Structure 1
Amino acid sequence: MDRLTEHLIIISFDCLSALDLPILKELPHFQTILSNGALVERVESIYPSVTYPCHATIVTGNYPNRHGVINNSLLQPGKASPDWNWYRKCIRGTTLYDEVKKANMTTAALLWPVTAKADIDFNMPEIFANRAWQNQILVSLLNGTPRFQWKMNKRYGHIRKGIQQPELDDFVLEAAVDTIKSKKPNLLLVHFTDLDTQRHEHGFSSEEAILSIHRHNQRLGRILEALKEAQILEQSTIIALGDHSALDEQKAINLNVLFTKQNLITTNASGKLIDWKAYCKSCDGSAYIYLKYPEDVDTYKTVRNLLNLLLEEPDFGIEKFITGEEAAARGADPACTFMIEASRGFFFLEDYRGDLIKTITKEDARADKKYTFACHGYSPEKENYGTILMAAGKGIQQVTLPSIRLIDEGPTFARLLGVSLGNTDGEVIDELLTLKEEVT
């Protein structure tokens, strides 16, 4: 299969929403993409619409139940800070970067989720030190390309302040510009999280969120300029996309508190979780409910009855629940017993002590990062909850499409580079591509 472009630059602006389009149209570098390329006005995300499953979907073309990354973090009841799905091995099947590498093209990834220990030529994976004794730089070096990361940290590490934003994205930007100029990869995956952070901490339409979109415009401009300076702009395709949107919320639901009261979660004298029969695993705006022993009929009935009672009380913030079979049909984890959806204004946490429903204050948010003012993870069927895709350059039509699905992006990106992801849940969106102008 001939490829349509020589260099594919995929920039993920985490939490970029279809509702941001009016702002993007007023910003010069996003204008450059929009006036010279393609726009998808609404991209339907996946369920649950959280970052790691979304980014695994983007590079596989499959729903979470097929690629295996069904949540950001692992099911580890009682652990204060559960580990995340950081590693390439968490993804079942092939990926865009695997297929590009097999085709003898150069690959690079900067803080792209679920790429730790991936076979990527120049890899700085998104993975963080999750234990007190771990060193962040060492953890990154051991799970990516050591020499490449060492050079990037030596040159630009002074910009970063841990994982604080906007400094982290400023660091990633400099690494991206450097990589484009020095490596000229055929595939570059870049993940920026500034907007996502600001929306979590300040709200969807907050001044801080709007300012971060303006910073993203400048970052996009720097990347476009780097492609010019590397003299590969005319042979490149630039994709700017979001993975999910976000919704404002004011109340946290701690369903595990109710499970503890019902003796479905057992704690010791000091309040530490020591055993469980049922557990609510947060996906922010949705949550999985797992049974430790799925064949436990009594626990199943108890949990189902509790959920039915909560549905009758709007103040508890549960919009609906579905069975594990129904969750699997929507692409979510088939191993869950139930999946629950929060009403607007609510999201889920995993606390098993304290209040069942907690109204979030600014003091809460300052004291603990888990208390946010906007989040995602909701069903993609929620109104005004789509994300967006823009593309320009080699192989891209000047066209506006009303909608595609997140699962369609991976197969379409693969077609641009002349590779295939095989039999996927998504499909190539030919309307985006200039299939007649192929290059060898």
Structure 2
Amino acid sequence: MNYSIKFFLGFLLSLLLAQNSVSQKPIEHVILIGVDGLGAYAFKSVKAPNLRKLMKEGSWTMQARSVLPSSSAPNWASMVMGAGPELHGYTTWGSKTPDLPARVLDEYGMFPTVYSLLRKAKPASEIGVVYEWNGIGYLFPKQAVNKDQNCDGDVATTNAAVSYIKEKKPNLMFIHLHDVDSVGHNVGHATPEYYQSVERTDTHIGTILKSIQEAGIADKTVIIFTADHGGINKGHGSISMQEMQIPWIIAGKGIRANHEITESIMTFDTSATIAMLFKLKTPQVWIGRPVKSILNK
């Protein structure tokens, strides 16, 4: 083999290695958006252009399930704690402390959360929680986050989230929106008013997505959208698919596009998936499994 061919092959190899190293750069930001009371069934009756764009650009399922009971605190806790109520102990709609002893406590005196995992592995991380329902404030270790803001209404929540994203470019952020659940309780699920609340919420999500672009971090970010539960009539907490089946959408860096997820997803798989994206070691007590089929090969 003459020198020129060797040189060309070496140059080609170096290009391939460089390209691979770029594609393997770690994800720097995960934005988790949770909408209270949004049942997966609603997607058959709403336009929701921003969420549908996320679905087209990423991976999704309308068959993810909540834990039982299909109530707020057990499910918001499970979403970030990688396990169900049997292990983390939050069992009722408004649990402020575990109703059962948590199987394991971390350094913050709580069942391990994805927030505490990231803080321990990457201490300099910027971590924030911005939420409308004040019950969220009992479900994460406040010492592990930089931003803890409870807002009055979804407009205020969206504005606070946008400001935080643009100013701090958080590595991990959870945004909780509540309008859909309020309408579900006051007017009823599967009503015109309920579907209108979903479309209002989609507008807020569009504003949040735009802020990620404006912050200059879109190419390093993964967005996850889901809910804690659905509902039936004017309530939730019982056993029905309309209450338990929730949307689960993920899009962004390294995520397969226009891909419908076929495997089972439980809400506690959300934290396991975030841990996978950040390459975090998960505790033995977690039962959540990362959704690996979402990754580009």
TM over 0.5: yes
Match of 1:73 in 2: 94
Q: Residues 37 and 180 of structure 2 are in contact (CA less than 8 Å); yes or no, is this contact kept in structure 1?
A: yes
Structure with the larger strand share: 1
Match of 1:242 in 2: 227
Match of 1:376 in 2: 236
1: distance between equivalents of 2:116 and 2:146? 11
Using a 3 Å threshold, how does the CA distance of structure 1 residues 91 and 246 change in structure 2: closer, same or farther? Answer: farther
Structure with the larger helix share: 2
Instruction: Tell me by how many angstroms 1:116 deviates.
Output: 6.5
Match of 1:393 in 2: 252
Instruction: Tell me by how many angstroms 1:91 deviates.
Output: 7.6
Relative to the length of structure 2, the TM-score reads: 0.80
Instruction: Tell me by how many angstroms 1:207 deviates.
Output: 2.5
1: distance between equivalents of 2:265 and 2:109? 23
1:95 aligned to 113, 117, 142, which one?
113
SS at match of 1:404: coil
Instruction: Tell me by how many angstroms 1:4 deviates.
Output: 4.4
Instruction: Tell me by how many angstroms 1:212 deviates.
Output: 1.1
1: distance between equivalents of 2:52 and 2:251? 11
Q: Residues 50 and 244 of structure 1 are in contact (CA less than 8 Å); yes or no, is this contact kept in structure 2?
A: yes
Q: Does 1:190 align with 2:190?
A: no
| Deviations 1:284-324, CA, capped at 9 Å, x for gaps | xxxxxxxxxxxxxxxxxxxxxxxxxxxxxxxxxxxxxxxxx
Match of 2:27 in 1: 5
**Unpaired runs of 5+ in structure 1?**
75-83, 126-159, 249-373
Give the partner amino acid of 2:270: E
- 1:224-263 equivalences in 2 (<5 Å): 224-248=209-233
Relative to the length of structure 1, the TM-score reads: 0.55
2: distance between equivalents of 1:4 and 1:409? 18
| Deviations 1:81-121, CA, capped at 9 Å, x for gaps | xxx449x9998421011111121221010124423734201
2: distance between equivalents of 1:51 and 1:421? 24
Using a 3 Å threshold, how does the CA distance of structure 1 residues 393 and 28 change in structure 2: closer, same or farther? Answer: same
Instruction: Tell me by how many angstroms 1:23 deviates.
Output: 3.7
Using a 3 Å threshold, how does the CA distance of structure 1 residues 191 and 36 change in structure 2: closer, same or farther? Answer: same
Q: Does 1:429 align with 2:288?
A: no
Q: Residues 58 and 407 of structure 1 are in contact (CA less than 8 Å); yes or no, is this contact kept in structure 2?
A: yes
Using a 3 Å threshold, how does the CA distance of structure 1 residues 396 and 406 change in structure 2: closer, same or farther? Answer: same
2: distance between equivalents of 1:91 and 1:39? 34
SS at match of 2:268: helix
- 1:297-376 equivalences in 2 (<5 Å): 374-376=234-236
Give the partner amino acid of 2:34: S
| Deviations 1:176-228, CA, capped at 9 Å, x for gaps | 00000000000010000100000000000223211211111111110111011
Match of 1:252 in 2: none
1: distance between equivalents of 2:249 and 2:291? 13
Match of 2:8 in 1: none
Give the partner amino acid of 1:427: R
Using a 3 Å threshold, how does the CA distance of structure 1 residues 96 and 3 change in structure 2: closer, same or farther? Answer: farther
Give the partner amino acid of 1:100: L
Match of 2:11 in 1: none
Q: Residues 154 and 177 of structure 2 are in contact (CA less than 8 Å); yes or no, is this contact kept in structure 1?
A: yes
Using a 3 Å threshold, how does the CA distance of structure 1 residues 13 and 184 change in structure 2: closer, same or farther? Answer: same
2: distance between equivalents of 1:67 and 1:395? 31
2: distance between equivalents of 1:91 and 1:206? 42
SS at match of 2:213: helix
Q: Does 1:419 align with 2:288?
A: no
| Deviations 1:376-409, CA, capped at 9 Å, x for gaps | 1113xx2344111111101322221244111211
Q: Does 1:36 align with 2:54?
A: no
Give the partner amino acid of 2:266: R
Using a 3 Å threshold, how does the CA distance of structure 1 residues 116 and 201 change in structure 2: closer, same or farther? Answer: farther
Q: Does 1:117 align with 2:142?
A: yes
2: distance between equivalents of 1:404 and 1:123? 28
Q: Residues 15 and 245 of structure 1 are in contact (CA less than 8 Å); yes or no, is this contact kept in structure 2?
A: yes
SS at match of 1:220: helix
* Count of residue pairs brought into register by the alignment: 256
- 1:205-224 equivalences in 2 (<5 Å): 205-224=190-209
Match of 1:147 in 2: none
Instruction: Tell me by how many angstroms 1:420 deviates.
Output: 2.9
2:187 aligned to 199, 202, 205, which one?
202
Pick the structure with greater CA Rg.
1
SS at match of 1:224: helix
Using a 3 Å threshold, how does the CA distance of structure 1 residues 210 and 433 change in structure 2: closer, same or farther? Answer: same
